[in-house]
Amino acid sequence: MRPSQILRSDEIPIGKYGHYLNKDTWGHLGCILPQKGINTYQLSPNRQNILAGAANDAVFNTWRRFSKQVLYWAPPLLAAYYAMDWAMKRNEYLNSKAGRAETKGN
């Protein structure tokens, strides 16, 4: 086969793995042989139940995600709560009459 025959044909080979670009149909990439082993299926939109099992999946997916993450955020949250509670009670005590008397005496 002469190189000029390739240039005059409808398909121009691109690359080294047998991919072709069809000259006549711009934007339709593909090879000269039909694809094998590709199955496509369609279902009419009015035959689909798009929310089938959504509520059930949402409950169990939420529980699964919560149970895997709770040990990362619960202990620091509890520690911060108890530290803040202690600080507020200590501040209230130190600003009371008994607290001022205690700190003034030292």
Which region, left, alpha or beta, applies to residue 30 given φ > 0 means left and ψ of -120 to 50 means alpha?
left
pLDDT digits 0-9 by tens, 20-49: 555 555 555 555 556 667 777 787 877 778
Query: How far apart (Å, rounded) are the C-alpha atoms in residues 70 and 56?
Result: 21
Q: What is the pTM of this model?
A: 0.47
- Say if residues 8 and 1 touch (Cβ distance below 8 Å): no
- Say if residues 9 and 1 touch (Cβ distance below 8 Å): no
Provide mean pLDDT across the span 10-20: 54
pLDDT digits 0-9 by tens, 47-58: 778 888 889 999
- Say if residues 13 and 6 touch (Cβ distance below 8 Å): yes
pLDDT at position 50 is 80
Helix 97-105 and helix 54-94, axial crossing angle in degrees, nearest 10: 60
